[in-house]
Amino acid sequence: MSKIINPVLPGYHPDPSILRVGNDYYIAVSTFEWFPGIQIYHSKDMINWRLLTYPLTRESQLNMIGNVNSGGVWAPCLSYSEGMFFLIYTDVKSRMGAFKDTHNYLVTAENIEGPWSEPIYLNSSGFDPSLFHDEDGRKWLVNMIWDFRKGTNSFAGIALQEYSVEEIRLVGPVQNIFKGSEIGLTEAPHIYKRNGYYYLVTAEGGTWYTHAVTIARSTSLFGPYEIDPTNPILTSDENKKDQLQKAGHGSLVETQNGEWYMAHLCGRPVVDKKCILGRETAIQKCYWTEDDWLRVEGGPNPSTIVEAPDLQLHPFEQESNLDDFQGHSLKKYWNSLRRTFTEDWISLTERPGYLTLKGGESMSSLHHQSLLARRLESFTVEVETAVEYTPENFQQMAGLIFYYDTDDYVYLRITTHETLGKCIGIIESKHGVYDELLDQDIPLKSTGEVKIKAKVDQQWLQFAYAEEDEWKNIGSKIDISHLSDDDADYIRFTGTFVGICTQDLSGQKKPSYFSYFKYDEL
């Protein structure tokens, strides 16, 4: 019997929305401030997955310049009806304090790989929107309602409103159909219909170690909804260290053979409940009871090894983890911060055989950083790159970075110094506090290419560099457990990226040239 090994999407892949169309399975996940927007993965057996596409590739679809950390694209919902794919998402502009500016949009496509339409604005009343296609052809938007008022439940219930395909907008009254269970923090609504019941699946308990999937049902779309007496149907036991943690935010799919599965987010702490890989995606097998309630097999706690559906195995050839920058397009796993891939800051053709990055704003910027990165997807990884760079002043830097957000990163960078000349050193920002981890930067002999690499083992990071063929460790091992949702004194939602970047704080856009990037899971 084939097995699903969780997480099926390791590394930062939160808020999964799973969908089957024919024999194909898709999962859409949140991307927050990283561009392009929304990753869609593809499978035919729910065991083997490949990154297929990003729907939001244009600034006209998603303009995140200036978006706050852990803002941007929250909780997409992917659905299909009458030959058309529908994708709902939130673009979060502000989220700290009492207020949240959460704008909800819809894009559509006849083909999952696009082209995807320009966005249709829906509402801004809350986040986690999804679209339900009823059997009579009508379509309904649901999203949680955010209540900023003092002394109220900020998670004020689930709003329902009809969407008109003909008018390309929401129509009719807004109804609050569900105020949540006693668990609270009710969000991430999805509606499913089976055996005469409308099932409302929600996330409750907050996206922390108390996260959970709950369910309620009604014979009417508009309620009242009866809460499952055994809720939560999925949640983690935080006392079991070998268990997937933070299980919640579930989405359901039925196979061709009538089997049911739930995709959900989870986390795997490495130390002190800190998940440096971010929130990941796992899949659980489900079943229906005789009285028409949904249950997770072996639940309510998540399983790492799950019985796979009765489908033919279909492995995919995965994209190479060595990028020599020889092509004319970036590999799919690359992402940038907030900005689109435009020739004014990144190019594969300006100097053939190299990736050219033009110096951008600082690591603290919410606007125009020149940073290209990919998800850290394993606890033991070695990454290596080589850069040709001739900085002219201390405001110019380039190198290899492990990045969570503007407050937390570790950066092996090349720069220049008034007395040392061209040199290499380590910059760290921890909880927003800047530090330099060497007593003094190390002078570099070469004016040409410098190789730099890093090895990650759990929460420990070791940098090294080579001017010719001799690798030398630089600095001591660095604790990178602060590169996690869990280490800040405020809520945040992404994960660790590793990549290359360059800054020019003088504004001259001094370029750096990278000849390859290699990522090896050990």
Distances (CA, A) of 114 to 29, 39, 58, 85, 275: 17, 13, 12, 10, 33
Count CB neighbours of 343 within 10 A: 11
Q: How large is the greatest C-alpha to C-alpha distance in the chain, in angstroms?
A: 78
What is the residue-wise DSSP string for 339-369? S---TTTEESSSSTTSEEEE-B--TT-SS--
Q: How many CB atoms lie within 10 A of CB 513?
A: 20
How many angstroms separate the CA atoms of 65 and 119, rounded?
17
What is the distance between the alpha carbons of residues 385 and 450, in angstroms, rounded to a whole number?
A: 9
Distance between CA 223 and CA 386 in Å, rounded? 60
Catalytically annotated residue among 15, 45, 323, 408: 15
Residue 23 has what DSSP assignment?
T
**If you search the block for the tokens 């410098």, which residue do you land on?**
450
Closest CA relative to residue 319, chosen from 304, 329, 306, 305: 329
Rounded CA-CA distance 400/409 in Å is 11
Q: Is 368 exposed, middle or buried (0-12, 13-18, 19+ CB in 10 A)?
A: middle
| DSSP three-state, residue 486 | helix
Q: Which amino acid is it at 518?
A: K
Residue type at 296? V
**CA-to-CA distance for 357 and 152, rounded, in angstroms?**
48
Q: Which of 381, 389, 398 is nearest to 462 (CA)?
A: 381
Q: What are phi and psi of 425, to 5 degrees?
A: -160, 180
Structure token digits, residue 281: 């995606």
Strand order in the sheet with 260-267: 245-254, 260-267, 280-288, 294-296
Q: Exactly one of 187, 204, 441, 486 is catalytic; which is it?
A: 187
Distance CA 405, CA 506 (A): 22
- Catalytic residue status for 15: yes
Residues involved in catalysis = 15, 187
